[in-house]
């Protein structure tokens, strides 16, 4: 089945932020000069040279032009997510359970449920026929399923993260365990890892093992400290976050942009120089369509993620509760696989590492790629797919 090119609401926002950085550079220089400490020694070093101002303005213009060229080429490159969609075997609200093991099923295979983030589409795990963690796992004597959360509808409208676990994820686990007649492995990616961790604690009788892929934990790590605000501002932020029923995808993307503003600019300027007919161009476009095909958060999920987790650090502080239980990774005694990418800008190493430290029996691997490259990059098969499959088969 061919999926139509999705709308890209987040791309214009990221473009405006990047252009704003560059085109305001000469103005920023003027601002710096206007507040320069008025001591005689500092005045002597004040960059009054008009040539410097001209050079900054010229460089900003060149980079903005290159960025726009890359964006326009991206829009002009035809693309459709054309992989076949597997059958849906269970549904609750807007969430669907998709069966990736049906075509390769045979014998007593271990069953693995992949749990993606609530704020990104599941198909990063099945981006293309040859760039698909799910399809690869299905060839390894393992039966993979994935929970496609969909977008929040009437059923999910008031959900927080805990509600997604108790109302949907736990029900999906019950269904799978009953159908398979055995316990299952949970594999969570990014925020999905947090949901998988909580479900593993709540559903011990149905879960045999746990895989956590680029899962965030300590939001007060060094990399994220600049984004921790004074507690006196939290009530105002709370009101802003919960002012709407859902937080739009473009707002969520702007928060990721702030963690590393130059990634967007660098990748599109580089894309502008690629051969339009190259495989690299096709791979870039397919990945960017996923990146920009975001999912809105419910107001309560936004509060959980942006305030309770990011500002209050409730995960690492042991204050996150689901179904009346405090979620404590030290209670997880089952076999655990943890992947922490070396170049992850979304979930930096010092955000994820504290989780591995409190799960001392976990098998930890460090793919050389970033947050997304670990899943679909050129070395994903040897650095994540195969090690994950081998681990599942070993513990099953």
pLDDT in tens, 306-317: 999 999 999 999
Regarding whether 389 and 340 lie in a shared domain, the answer is yes
Per-residue pLDDT at 72: 86
Instruction: Report residue 130 as tokens.
Output: 């040859």
* Same domain membership, residue 166 and residue 127: yes
User: What average pLDDT does the segment 88-93 reach?
Assistant: 98
Q: Do 217 and 343 belong to one domain?
A: yes
DSSP state at residue 110: P
**Is 129 in the same domain as 164?**
yes
pLDDT for position 40: 47
On whether both 207 and 332 belong to a single domain, the answer is yes
Whether residue 306 sits in one domain with residue 188: yes
**Within a domain: 335:** yes
DSSP count for the chain of H helices, then E strands: 17, 12
- Angle 199-200-201 (CA atoms, 0-180°, nearest 5)? 90
Domain with residue 358: its CATH number is: 3.40.50.1820
Of residues 299 and 34, which shows the higher confidence score?
A: 299
Q: For position 28, what pLDDT does the model report? A: 60
Q: Give the pLDDT mean for 291-309.
A: 93
| 160 Cβ neighbours under 8 A, 6+ residues apart | 298, 300, 301, 303, 304
Give the mean model confidence (pLDDT) for residues 339-348: 94
Single residue among 45, 76, 107 that ends a domain in this structure: 76
Sequence-distant (6+) residues with CB within 8 A of 153 are 93, 94
Model confidence at 76, in pLDDT bands (50, 70, 90)?
confident
Name the pLDDT band for 1 (thresholds 50, 70, 90): very low
Q: Model confidence at 106, in pLDDT bands (50, 70, 90)?
A: low
If phi > 0 it is left, if psi is from -120 to 50 it is alpha, else beta; for residue 190 that is: left
Least confident of 22-36, 316-330, 380-394: 22-36
Domain assignment of residue 279, yes or no: no
pTM of the model: 0.87
pLDDT for 19 equals: 66
Q: What are the tens digits of pLDDT across the range 193-244?
A: 999 999 999 999 999 999 999 999 999 999 998 888 888 988 998 888 888 8
Report the C-alpha gap between 95 and 294 in whole angstroms: 16
The answer to whether 144 and 105 have CB atoms below 8 angstroms apart is: no
């Amino acid at each position: 089945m061919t999926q139509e090119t999705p709308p890209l609401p987040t791309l214009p926002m990221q473009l405006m932020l990047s252009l704003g950085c560059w085109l305001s550079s000469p103005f920023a220089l003027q601002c710096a000069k206007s507040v320069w400490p008025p001591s005689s020694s500092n005045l002597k070093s004040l960059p009054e040279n008009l040539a410097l101002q001209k050079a900054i303005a010229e460089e900003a213009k060149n980079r903005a032009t290159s960025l726009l060229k890359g964006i326009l080429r991206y829009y002009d490159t035809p693309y459709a997510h054309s992989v076949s969609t597997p059958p849906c075997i269970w549904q609750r609200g807007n969430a669907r359970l998709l069966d990736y093991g049906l075509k390769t099923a045979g014998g007593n295979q271990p069953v693995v449920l992949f749990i993606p983030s609530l704020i990104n589409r599941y198909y990063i795990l099945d981006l293309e026929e040859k760039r698909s963690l799910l399809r690869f796992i299905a060839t390894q004597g393992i039966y993979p399923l994935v929970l496609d959360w969909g977008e929040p509808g009437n059923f999910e409208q008031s959900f927080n993260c805990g509600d997604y676990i108790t109302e949907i994820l736990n029900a999906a686990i019950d269904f799978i365990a009953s159908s398979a007649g055995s316990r299952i492995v949970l594999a969570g990616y990014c925020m999905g890892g947090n949901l998988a961790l909580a479900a593993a604690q709540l559903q011990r009788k149905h879960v045999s093992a746990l895989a956590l892929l680029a899962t965030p934990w300590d939001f007060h790590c060094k990399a994220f400290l600049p984004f921790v605000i004074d507690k006196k501002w939290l009530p105002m932020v709370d009101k802003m976050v919960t002012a709407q029923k859902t937080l739009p995808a473009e707002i969520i993307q702007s928060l990721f942009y702030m963690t590393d503003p130059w990634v967007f600019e660098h990748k599109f300027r580089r894309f502008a120089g690629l051969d339009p007919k190259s495989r690299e161009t096709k791979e870039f476009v397919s990945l960017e369509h996923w990146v920009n095909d975001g999912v809105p958060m419910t107001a309560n999920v936004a509060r959980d993620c942006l305030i309770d987790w990011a500002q209050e650090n409730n995960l690492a502080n042991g204050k996150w509760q689901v179904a009346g239980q405090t979620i404590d990774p030290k209670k997880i005694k089952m076999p655990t696989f943890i992947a922490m990418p070396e170049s992850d800008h979304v979930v930096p190493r010092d955000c994820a590492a504290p989780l591995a430290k409190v799960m001392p029996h976990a098998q930890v691997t460090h793919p050389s790629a970033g947050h997304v490259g670990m899943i679909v990059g050129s070395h994903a098969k040897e650095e994540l797919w195969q090690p994950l499959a081998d681990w599942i088969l070993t513990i099953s």
